[in-house]
Structure 1
Amino acid sequence: MKISFKYISYFLLFILGLNLTLISCTSDLDVTPKDDDEFLSETFFQDPASYKQVLAKLYAGLYVGGNDGDGAADIAGIGGDFSSYLRLLFVTQEFTTDEAIIAWADGTLPTLNAQTWSPANEFLAGTFSRAFYEISVANEFLRQTTEAKLDARGVDATLKAEIATFRAEARFLRAFSYYNLMDLFGNVPITTENDPVGLFYPVQKSRAEVFAFVESELKDLDNSLAASKTNEYGRIDKTAAKFLLAQVYLNAKIYTGTDKFKEAATLCNEIITASGYTFANVPYSYLFSADNNRNGAQNEVIFPIIGDGNAIRATGGGMSFIMHASIGGSMDAASRGMDGGWQGIRTRREFVALFPDETATADKRGTFYTDGQTLDIVNVGTFTNGYAVTKYINKNSDGTAAQRNDIPDIDFPMFRLSDVYLMYAECAVRGAADTDMAKAVGYINKLRTRANAATITAANMNLNFILDERGRELFWECHRRTDLIRFGKFTGGDKIWQWKGGSINGNATEAYRDLMPIPARVIQANPTFKQNPGYN
């Protein structure tokens, strides 16, 4: 079902014309049509097909930045090519860490490489706005699908039942955005379908209050989301909600001051033993190839952000950005299944050092391109400084060509079962009740055996090993910043990498940077907001 839902999703970008501006007083952020010929809620929803189309818009918003791909951005102040949700998550979760660095000097982008960002950073403003844009679309969809609205439109019982599942998915995607906002920015407003659309100042909530809201939503969604493995490929089910809740619990001490490792482990055990998602017993490379929706990798991917070279016309969005920007130097773009490279993203020497070698011999996950590349990054703006990364490839796992070479077919694995194994193992190492260390070692060895890496024993299981193993297994999957913060290694001097703090050999950074600043433009729009400590 991959292609059908994707074509609905991306076709709808041209129809709906939903627009957002940052200067609104409401953080539910206005959902208004660009002109009278485009999306108007009441008339649009007279068509029974419209409900799935708006849901598709929510999913499509994870990949693309605007209604015509790279051009007309959903959000103001940052171009459509820069404002893709997945792209912005990659920028904030990867460039700020040891896993990646970007050569480009666009605007304030270099400050993310160095952990020297300020409230004026347009990429942080874009991330904040993109998440609230998704929330605003979800809220409007929920307003338009109440029992009263559906009865007034004469919606039949069969479609009503389907819409109930759509509503649950919209609520999950809203919770996903609130999770990212809580993780990145801390204290943010909470708006739902019960709030008015218009000019009002939403109240900024504490991080703990946002945590409680997300926790409550995800628990409740277990009653209304599709049963595990029963939804269309690319759409959310009960297991995705359990995964996100486990992630929330894994980081609970950071968000609220109280750990919930036991609760995280319980959910991980449920996913591993009873969800129907299974470990993909295929080569590691299959998980990141153009046919990862059908080559066996899909068995472990719980929440993919789906991509399709024919359906998506967004050169700068999602996986297209990750693929193009990671090709340069002497790399042959055609061998990566692409039409060219943008000379942008590499990794740092300290991340390379997590692997036993630089050739993916003793660990197949260490996929570095070294020909003509230096290990040290003397000049951040020079692509050949720093090893390139070849984790993702726009070719099918049998070596045949993808549909196109300008925009990839690769689905981004936002949630996968391997991460559940790692979360369980971490909880066990942290001493969570009702965990089994032998079981945790077995899960880790499944990952390492697939990678042809040496197996480990319980003697190897400590927090430093778990953090490193998370890097080896999950790098460039938008987890690293959150992981480093949870382990106390993101800021400060406990873990140093090149150009951290702005110097070639790296230096300690301020602890307050574990939270991103509330963007200056947001505070200008709503003067009731308080800035995060350290950024005043």
Structure 2
Amino acid sequence: MKKTIKNVSILSLLFVFTFFSCTEDLNITPNDDDTLLGEDLFENEGAYRQVIAGVYANLALTGTDGAGSSNIEGIDAGTSQFGRVLLYMQTLSADQMIWSYENDPGTREIQRNIWTAQNPLILGMYSRAHLTIALANNFLRETTADKLDSRGASESVRQDIVAYRAEARLLRALSYYYMMDLFGKANFGTEADAVNTVLPVADRAQLFDFIESELIAIEADLIPAGANEYGRADRGVAYMILAKIYLNAEVYIGENRYTDCMNYCQELLNSGYTLATNYKDNFIADNNTNSAVNEIIFSIVSDGSTTQNYGPTTVMINGSVGSLEVNGVEVGVVQNGWDGALRVRKEFAELWQGGNFGDDDRNTIISANRPIGITDIADRDTGYIIQKYSNVTSTGQAGVDQTFVDTDFPLFRLADVNLMYAEAHLRGGGGSLDVAVQLINDLRTRANNPNLISSTDLTLPFIIDERARELHWEAHRRQDLIRFGLFTGGSYNWAWKGNGSNGIAIPNHFNLYPIPNSSMSSNPNLTQNPGY
């Protein structure tokens, strides 16, 4: 059993969710209207820890009644689990992944880049992110000094609340970060706004300023990087989000902030994180206790018994069981898994061809008896598959459940910092060329790839390909391609881009997702993104 914040009764509280989810201020309607927003909950001082656990739980779970339940009215659990819809929007929409079952709501449009404002996965992402914001705001409203005074809170609670409030603000900033990246705008509310208020809308520049100022403001109140209990956010997570927004600042606000990105990469490199001994340790059932625990900066926790959900690792591990290979037992799920649900696009498979990638630990492609291309998405016997994620521990023991996995999803890990440092350096952010080269070679050495690079090899085209090899299926690819100017337009096409089997150009407005129609109708201040 994993010893994380989720074990603080995430399921018994789990929806302190519904206690706190009267969130019309964020265009979300809870399924459970019977719970009370009152003082009784806080008569037990342990409730403060439970309530902050509930904010974290929204990243992993969708409801209180099992994996298929949803605590957001009108939105299905399968289209609103945070990590899963993030994976779809950042990875399925790009050049690495194909989902075989296009009758699953929303997937066909996402992977063919033909989505509209009616897409249920887009609505799921929009709603789930705003629910985290609402939960964080309510936690902050209930933990002010005046509230604590009125309840006669103990000194112990008052000391804990400082870090809890900082974590709530960080989780809110994280959600606004994804809203800024995916949608370019968000309904903007803080704890200062009354519940059920019709909120203003913040654009990208306003969200950028808020995220930046919030994360800097809470730094001193957060637990030092790497020192918090597993599954909780600390300064390392704040540094990571800051590095990310600065790396992408030219996309978000039209400004070069690569020096700032470099500074936070350096902070992270100096914070005590270390690469996992083995690359695959980051993606297996005990990645919360094996050597990956020192590399993973923040993850979405998963437990096959206590937090069953159809999240990204459950999807990817079951989905990676091939229709021909029937390799479920090998990856710790039922033998047939989901029978070829996931495969890789040709362009990603080709990144491993040539050079010395055959024995690279990051190369988990299975190609035998399969053509590299996918001319019919429904034909699960075509296209290569991969086994990056597994529900088996480092000692070979399967997870506790053979459908719902124990494998946590690494939102942020140190390897990305190595790659961001190198890219920020190449883009004029400072730092050292020798250090940048060494950081890339550290990743290759860890992966048992003998093909180390020299300073002349370190170019931006090299970086975008190396990011794919190191970080594939970790919900970064769309963002990376946009930053490199490769997502829209026709300078780089991949299989099924734009609904063409060999890929066609897509218009530039697809760099942002549309605002869901139902969200538009809920807030008159929202306007649709151009082109939709």
TM superposition score normalised by structure 1: 0.94
Q: Report matched runs for 1:111-260 at 5 Å.
A: 111-198=109-196, 200-260=197-257
| Corresponding position: 1:333 with 2:328 | yes
> Given residue 439 of structure 2, which amino acid in structure 1 is its aligned partner?
Y
Return closer, same or farther for 1:408/1:72 CA change in 2, 3 Å cut-off: closer
- Alpha-carbon contact 1:55-1:170 (below 8 Å) kept: yes
- Alpha-carbon contact 1:89-1:478 (below 8 Å) kept: yes
Bigger mean CA deviation after superposition, 475-484 or 107-116: 107-116
Q: Report matched runs for 1:76-95 at 5 Å.
A: 76-95=73-92
Q: Partners of 2:529 and 2:26 in 1: how far apart?
A: 17
Equivalent position of 1:279 in the other structure: 275
- Alpha-carbon contact 2:419-2:467 (below 8 Å) kept: yes
SS state of the match for residue 164, structure 2?
helix
Return closer, same or farther for 1:65/1:390 CA change in 2, 3 Å cut-off: same
> Given residue 278 of structure 1, which amino acid in structure 2 is its aligned partner?
T
Q: Partners of 1:101 and 1:95 in 2: how far apart?
A: 6
| Identity %, equivalent residues | 40
Equivalent residue pairs, number: 526
Equivalent position of 2:283 in the other structure: 288
| Corresponding position: 1:532 with 2:532 | no
Return closer, same or farther for 1:28/1:220 CA change in 2, 3 Å cut-off: farther
Bigger mean CA deviation after superposition, 380-389 or 488-497: 380-389
- Alpha-carbon contact 2:27-2:519 (below 8 Å) kept: no
Q: How far is 1:187 from its partner?
A: 2.0
> Given residue 442 of structure 2, which amino acid in structure 1 is its aligned partner?
K
Deviations 1:43-101 (A, max 9, x none): 21221111111111111111121122323312233211331100110110111000111
Instruction: Tell me which of 277, 296, 303 is aligned to 1:301.
Output: 296
> Given residue 439 of structure 1, which amino acid in structure 2 is its aligned partner?
V
Return closer, same or farther for 1:141/1:216 CA change in 2, 3 Å cut-off: same
Q: Partners of 2:312 and 2:351 in 1: how far apart?
A: 26
- CA RMSD across the alignment: 1.9
| Corresponding position: 1:352 with 2:349 | yes
Equivalent position of 2:376 in the other structure: 379
Equivalent position of 1:324 in the other structure: 318
- Alpha-carbon contact 2:391-2:407 (below 8 Å) kept: yes
- Alpha-carbon contact 2:185-2:201 (below 8 Å) kept: yes
Equivalent position of 1:392 in the other structure: 389
Instruction: Tell me which of 56, 59, 64 is aligned to 1:62.
Output: 59
Return closer, same or farther for 1:242/1:254 CA change in 2, 3 Å cut-off: same
SS state of the match for residue 3, structure 1?
coil
Return closer, same or farther for 1:359/1:466 CA change in 2, 3 Å cut-off: closer
- Alpha-carbon contact 2:22-2:195 (below 8 Å) kept: no
Return closer, same or farther for 1:344/1:145 CA change in 2, 3 Å cut-off: same
Q: How far is 1:156 from its partner?
A: 0.9
Q: Partners of 1:29 and 1:145 in 2: how far apart?
A: 23
- Alpha-carbon contact 1:88-1:126 (below 8 Å) kept: yes
- Alpha-carbon contact 2:22-2:29 (below 8 Å) kept: yes
Deviations 1:449-483 (A, max 9, x none): 11122100111111110011111000111111111
| Corresponding position: 1:265 with 2:262 | yes
- Alpha-carbon contact 2:372-2:384 (below 8 Å) kept: yes
| Corresponding position: 1:406 with 2:400 | no
Instruction: Tell me which of 47, 52, 65 is aligned to 1:50.
Output: 47
Equivalent position of 2:500 in the other structure: 503
Deviations 1:218-240 (A, max 9, x none): 11111211112221111111111
- Alpha-carbon contact 1:41-1:144 (below 8 Å) kept: no
Deviations 1:470-527 (A, max 9, x none): 1100011111111110010111111110000101111111011001111111111123
SS state of the match for residue 414, structure 1?
strand
Q: Report matched runs for 1:487-502 at 5 Å.
A: 487-502=484-499
> Given residue 327 of structure 1, which amino acid in structure 2 is its aligned partner?
V
Q: Partners of 2:21 and 2:496 in 1: how far apart?
A: 35
Q: Partners of 2:67 and 2:472 in 1: how far apart?
A: 26
SS state of the match for residue 304, structure 1?
strand
| Corresponding position: 1:3 with 2:3 | yes
Equivalent position of 2:18 in the other structure: 17
Q: Partners of 1:110 and 1:81 in 2: how far apart?
A: 15
Q: Partners of 2:291 and 2:249 in 1: how far apart?
A: 33
- Alpha-carbon contact 1:367-1:391 (below 8 Å) kept: yes
Q: Partners of 1:58 and 1:68 in 2: how far apart?
A: 17
Q: Report matched runs for 1:420-439 at 5 Å.
A: 420-433=417-430, 435-439=431-435
Return closer, same or farther for 1:358/1:325 CA change in 2, 3 Å cut-off: farther
Return closer, same or farther for 1:242/1:15 CA change in 2, 3 Å cut-off: closer
- Alpha-carbon contact 1:218-1:241 (below 8 Å) kept: yes
Q: Partners of 2:505 and 2:27 in 1: how far apart?
A: 37
Q: Partners of 1:97 and 1:260 in 2: how far apart?
A: 25
> Given residue 433 of structure 2, which amino acid in structure 1 is its aligned partner?
M
SS state of the match for residue 187, structure 2?
coil
Q: How far is 1:400 from its partner?
A: 2.4
Q: How far is 1:358 from its partner?
A: 11
- Alpha-carbon contact 1:69-1:81 (below 8 Å) kept: no
Q: Partners of 1:109 and 1:512 in 2: how far apart?
A: 19
Deviations 1:371-391 (A, max 9, x none): 443311111122222211200
Q: Partners of 1:484 and 1:284 in 2: how far apart?
A: 23
Bigger mean CA deviation after superposition, 504-513 or 366-375: 366-375
> Given residue 57 of structure 2, which amino acid in structure 1 is its aligned partner?
A
| Corresponding position: 1:75 with 2:100 | no
- Please list every run of 5 or more consecutive structure 2 residues that lacks an aligned counterpart in the other structure: none
Q: Partners of 2:20 and 2:371 in 1: how far apart?
A: 44
SS state of the match for residue 101, structure 1?
strand
Q: Report matched runs for 1:456-475 at 5 Å.
A: 456-475=453-472
- Alpha-carbon contact 2:489-2:508 (below 8 Å) kept: yes
- Alpha-carbon contact 2:494-2:503 (below 8 Å) kept: yes
Q: Partners of 1:431 and 1:251 in 2: how far apart?
A: 14
Equivalent position of 2:443 in the other structure: 447
Return closer, same or farther for 1:317/1:69 CA change in 2, 3 Å cut-off: farther
Return closer, same or farther for 1:428/1:521 CA change in 2, 3 Å cut-off: same
| Corresponding position: 1:310 with 2:305 | yes
- Alpha-carbon contact 2:15-2:54 (below 8 Å) kept: no
| Corresponding position: 1:519 with 2:516 | yes
Return closer, same or farther for 1:357/1:234 CA change in 2, 3 Å cut-off: farther
> Given residue 515 of structure 2, which amino acid in structure 1 is its aligned partner?
I
Deviations 1:383-418 (A, max 9, x none): 222211200011111222222322111111111111
- Alpha-carbon contact 1:337-1:393 (below 8 Å) kept: yes
